[in-house]
């Protein structure tokens, strides 16, 4: 079983829609959860980082962790064409090793 599973999509939404991106993880010891945005032919960019359970909000982005179900989510409100990218979830329990999902490709249509 992979440490992190992520639906690859692709996901296509109209501009202004609310986007929900999701991952599941296997190891209950994971405590730290991250979301990255990767534009085509670029390195991943850290979007948000959360510790343990709960929500974290940053502008139009909200990261949510449900440790009871081992489920992590990223919500994007009022989606924009500039949000079109691949989104990667990641987790870690030691700060030395990180486990990534395969990424979800998102297209926001103007």
Q: Which of 46, 55, 57, 58 binds another protein (CB under 8 A)?
A: 46
Residue 22 binds another protein (CB under 8 A) = no
Q: Which of 42, 57, 77, 81 binds another protein (CB under 8 A)?
A: 42
Question: In angstroms, what is the minimal distance from the CB of 49 to another protein?
Answer: 5
DSSP per-residue codes, 63-108: EEEETTTTEEEEEESS--GGG-EEEEEEEESSSS-EEE---EEEEE
Stretch that binds another protein, among 18-26, 61-69, 74-82, 84-92 (CB under 8 A): 84-92
Distance, CA of 47 to CA of 73 (rounded, Å)? 13
Q: Would you tell me which residues interact with another protein (CB under 8 A)?
A: 6, 8, 31-32, 34, 36, 41-46, 49, 51, 88, 90, 92, 95-98, 100-103
């Amino acid at each position: 079983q992979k440490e992190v599973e992520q639906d690859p999509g692709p996901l296509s939404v109209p501009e202004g829609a609310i986007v929900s991106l999701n991952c599941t993880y296997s190891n209950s010891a994971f405590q730290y959860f991250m979301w990255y945005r990767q534009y085509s032919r670029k390195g991943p960019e850290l979007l948000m980082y959360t510790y343990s359970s709960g929500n974290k909000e940053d502008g139009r982005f909200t990261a949510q962790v449900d440790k009871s179900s081992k489920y992590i989510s990223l919500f994007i409100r009022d989606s924009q064409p500039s949000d079109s990218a691949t989104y990667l979830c990641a987790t870690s329990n030691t700060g030395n090793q990180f486990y990534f999902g395969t990424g979800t490709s998102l297209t926001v249509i103007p």
